[in-house]
Structure 1
């Protein structure tokens, strides 16, 4: 079939690559001059920054995707394992807390903070690992088009154990097992990776802890922009036509009985609802010069924010969700980002460093109420601690992220302090906080490169719902089958992929989402990952992924 993919983020690239490898004729349209979406790159004066994702988790998902593309992670990425996995600074406590790659080391560290917490962590990680394995086998790779996969003996047997985790918050689940607030925060913070907060995230998501406390944190040398380049290259090799500078302005449709793609060949029936109101025939788009183009297709796959797709690219009668439904949804937090080039080393910071305020109720409550937290918890990625290619020799690059409300009125960022006032104030406060808590008093004076990004940028540049940083929060009402569907409920031949759809936010979830598009086109309603082709030869050269003890 002829397929057009709207959006060149990782989910769009992965969807295009898988569909082209399947034998479809695929064209991808990306509005910007480069692909990557949130996983972009920015460089100045020898400092190179990933502008979005920075955690390489769920390695099994990457391994599976590359296997589907006829290669392997070892062939295309050089993975290293930061040690410590990450470092945590707590407001009101002296000294940081290091989370190691080794489960045994983390058990010992928890025990040193709170007697009995080591054994409690062992039990917690056993439960977390079981939930993660169950999710991979039965829940993450399903389109929810059929309930039959959930009637398996393993799922039915596990229901008495899993069901209570859906009705309880992650915060409460952790608090019932650990007393020290620092340990609670370490185990509760993964909720932020899901665009939510520990008090609103179902306890089932404690499965995230098996990813970072049990040997799962890695980093691809060259950064996440290199990962995007790898997937883009695989897509082109599979036959995808990549077109940048192509802004899609509408999804074109026709009556249900019209021929697919608007052409003279009938083609197979496209996937879609049983009683569609229309069928997708392609897209209308403008190039960099403003010229209008039309691309016909049997299937349209949107990898853009679902809110943008429905509100801006479809007429009201063909939208899957009402305005009222969107207004009652939770877009997740926004974010202020500061990309800093720093002269000299900052050994006080690890590759990943977290800065937690003491009053989390106020921190997360402020974000929900539309207020910028003061003080605010923050995350700092310093990839130059691991990767010498991202900064001049002897210097560091810092990616500072502060969760704030998803509100474009907070403003947009800029270079060298030229962003909107609130954005620059949040960035200044974060730099000062990192300097004080980590013991780097001259940090601000050593910054020679600075660029900020705010919720206004996410809204304008990525068409993100309300300027959301990641995508809809993983609350109970916005998880699993309650999240955006891979298939339009009104338009035959219109499919959706990306962080705003199932299974959720994050690079691994986006790769799974791409696979769900392929499963939908195949009519595969199973819950298991697609079968992999014969294993690719194992690489032994410099591109080989580093052997890491404790890999799952």
Structure 2
């Protein structure tokens, strides 16, 4: 039976998507968000005239976003115009060789024998794209538009299953002859916090999507995605309560009956969708006596993603780097060095300049730089004092300053502790679950607690705006029995 009243915990992209889907079915929906704005990790903040990302930095796999919006009854192209990033990534190798990845398969090697190496790399990329593009299409147009099912993967992609053995590094070694080219291509997935030899091979579809479909920024910045979703949710009658933290999900008689807010108010509901991580939902939002043992075990065994320190700089000068994102990296087999703290002088780092493709995100003549630097994963969250943050950030900024002029007008530094307390990310882990998490380590949309459903990254294989939206759709569909 379709519920009449549903409450949603969390106002990120997944919570808003769930709310839209339910509201279109005539369900009364109330959404509660602890922060004073919606959007979660798909939002932006204006700091002294600079538009900083609060998480997501670009839209990858735009066709999947089109599918997600269509499931919500929205025309993505009309409501959310995207600007293609002409040159997504460039990598600088130890000997100064630079390898640039453009969209539509365009690549360039600047270094010794650059022209001949470019021709070889281009040919190898064409073969790699030809090999993996059929599987990419299956993922985008079918598998990722439905809740993950091993049986469905086998039935739809059985011809491609032999490709999925091994890891990303293995595939790059098979497909590319130039060690420096392999390093540049491996850098595409370093955002996961894993080196290529620990990255599941299926994540190569992200590289193929970059080469085929490119990366994009929504007009107005990443916050435009959530603004479109918020506007739609409100137009459909959804109630939004910001600055309203949830203390508990109320479980009575083995069923979710609503929420208790931190101010003590009880909110009754027929069902609850929690977009907090599965770990937070079952370790913090539900009384321990009401947590099923299977979920206790899943929380205890959850493989978390990495932590990081975010550094965002607003500059008064204009930077024109070789690409939207620039890596200074060692060869592929040594890239763990970029993912671990570098005592003393930092040699390996990445930085992104969103104002390269979208200068209007900064005041006229200015730029924005975003960096994520590796941290000691064993450092307790409480150890992240303001002094520790500043010292860690200063070392990374000094590394960048060796290559780019930095006239810093403002900065925002976000530590793992800030991610945990300000963004409510469990343990300060930037993605929740590790990208290497197995399907059985993800949390189910339909939980063992009647009336309780989950959405968000810990319920869905992958990262990004489209997958966040789909996770909300899946939870809403499960709730109303579609």
Partner of 1:471: 432
Which whole-Å CA distance do the structure 2 matches of 1:181 and 1:65 have between them?
A: 38
Q: Structure 1: where are the runs of 5+ without partners?
A: 256-277, 414-418, 525-552
**Cα offset for 1:280?**
0.7
Aligned equivalent of 2:257, options 262, 281, 293:
281
Partner of 2:308: 335
Q: Structure 2: where are the runs of 5+ without partners?
A: none
Aligned equivalent of 1:63, options 42, 62, 66:
66
Partner of 2:161: 162
Partner of 2:469: 511
Aligned equivalent of 1:32, options 35, 40, 44:
35
Which whole-Å CA distance do the structure 2 matches of 1:335 and 1:239 have between them?
A: 38
**Cα offset for 1:145?**
7.0
Partner of 1:550: none
Partner of 2:444: 485
Does residue 248 (structure 1) correspond to residue 250 (structure 2)? The answer is no
Does residue 386 (structure 1) correspond to residue 357 (structure 2)? The answer is yes
**Cα offset for 1:107?**
8.2
Partner of 1:16: 19
**For residues 205-228 of structure 1, what are the alpha-carbon distances to aligned partners after superposition, in whole Å with 9 as ceiling and x for unaligned?**
211112211232111121111221
Contact 1:479 1:504 (C-alpha < 8 Å) held by counterparts: no
Contact 1:111 1:118 (C-alpha < 8 Å) held by counterparts: no
Task: Please give the TM-score of this superposition, normalised by the length of structure 1.
Answer: 0.79
Contact 2:109 2:118 (C-alpha < 8 Å) held by counterparts: no
Does residue 354 (structure 1) correspond to residue 354 (structure 2)? The answer is no
Partner of 1:544: none
Q: Determine helix, strand or coil for the equivalent of 2:411.
A: strand
**For residues 382-438 of structure 1, what are the alpha-carbon distances to aligned partners after superposition, in whole Å with 9 as ceiling and x for unaligned?**
22223233211111111222243555636688xxxxx633332332222222232xx
**Cα offset for 1:342?**
0.9
Query: What are the equivalent positions in structure 2 for 1:390-409 lying under 5 Å apart?
Result: 390-406=361-377, 409=380
**For residues 10-38 of structure 1, what are the alpha-carbon distances to aligned partners after superposition, in whole Å with 9 as ceiling and x for unaligned?**
11111111111122111100001111212
Contact 1:101 1:214 (C-alpha < 8 Å) held by counterparts: yes
Distance 1:300 1:324, change over 3 A: closer
Which whole-Å CA distance do the structure 2 matches of 1:520 and 1:30 have between them?
A: 22
**Cα offset for 1:111?**
7.3
Does residue 521 (structure 1) correspond to residue 482 (structure 2)? The answer is no
Which whole-Å CA distance do the structure 2 matches of 1:314 and 1:294 have between them?
A: 14
Partner of 1:372: 341
Which whole-Å CA distance do the structure 2 matches of 1:400 and 1:150 have between them?
A: 36
**For residues 324-363 of structure 1, what are the alpha-carbon distances to aligned partners after superposition, in whole Å with 9 as ceiling and x for unaligned?**
654443211111111111121112353x223243165565
Distance 1:404 1:59, change over 3 A: same
Distance 1:76 1:322, change over 3 A: closer
**For residues 478-527 of structure 1, what are the alpha-carbon distances to aligned partners after superposition, in whole Å with 9 as ceiling and x for unaligned?**
24454221111x20111111111123322111111112113313434xxx
Aligned equivalent of 1:457, options 418, 442, 449:
418
Aligned length: 473
Which whole-Å CA distance do the structure 1 matches of 2:435 and 2:376 have between them?
A: 16
Does residue 293 (structure 1) correspond to residue 291 (structure 2)? The answer is no
Which whole-Å CA distance do the structure 1 matches of 2:193 and 2:266 have between them?
A: 36
Contact 1:408 1:459 (C-alpha < 8 Å) held by counterparts: no
Contact 2:338 2:374 (C-alpha < 8 Å) held by counterparts: no
Which whole-Å CA distance do the structure 1 matches of 2:150 and 2:199 have between them?
A: 25
Which whole-Å CA distance do the structure 2 matches of 1:393 and 1:450 have between them?
A: 17
**Cα offset for 1:189?**
2.9
Which whole-Å CA distance do the structure 2 matches of 1:106 and 1:412 have between them?
A: 43
**Cα offset for 1:308?**
0.9
Which whole-Å CA distance do the structure 2 matches of 1:407 and 1:14 have between them?
A: 35
Higher relative helix content: 2
Distance 1:111 1:507, change over 3 A: farther
**Cα offset for 1:163?**
4.2
Partner of 1:309: 281
Contact 2:50 2:368 (C-alpha < 8 Å) held by counterparts: yes
CA RMSD of aligned residues (A): 2.7
Contact 1:412 1:454 (C-alpha < 8 Å) held by counterparts: no
Partner of 1:141: 145
Q: Determine helix, strand or coil for the equivalent of 1:185.
A: helix
Partner of 1:175: 173
**Cα offset for 1:146?**
8.9
Partner of 1:543: none
Partner of 1:448: 409
Query: What are the equivalent positions in structure 2 for 1:400-419 lying under 5 Å apart?
Result: 400-406=371-377, 409=380
Query: What are the equivalent positions in structure 2 for 1:10-159 lying under 5 Å apart?
Result: 10-90=13-93, 92-94=94-96, 96-103=98-105, 105-106=106-107, 112-113=116-117, 116-144=120-148, 147=151, 149=152, 152=155, 155=156, 158-159=157-158
Which whole-Å CA distance do the structure 1 matches of 2:395 and 2:410 have between them?
A: 17
**For residues 511-546 of structure 1, what are the alpha-carbon distances to aligned partners after superposition, in whole Å with 9 as ceiling and x for unaligned?**
11112113313434xxxxxxxxxxxxxxxxxxxxxx
**For residues 126-175 of structure 1, what are the alpha-carbon distances to aligned partners after superposition, in whole Å with 9 as ceiling and x for unaligned?**
2232221122344323335794x4564xx2xx42531451x401111111
**For residues 183-222 of structure 1, what are the alpha-carbon distances to aligned partners after superposition, in whole Å with 9 as ceiling and x for unaligned?**
2133223433445332122212211112211232111121
Which whole-Å CA distance do the structure 2 matches of 1:58 and 1:254 have between them?
A: 42
**Cα offset for 1:454?**
0.9
**For residues 281-317 of structure 1, what are the alpha-carbon distances to aligned partners after superposition, in whole Å with 9 as ceiling and x for unaligned?**
111112xxxx311111111001112111110011334
Which whole-Å CA distance do the structure 2 matches of 1:232 and 1:189 have between them?
A: 34
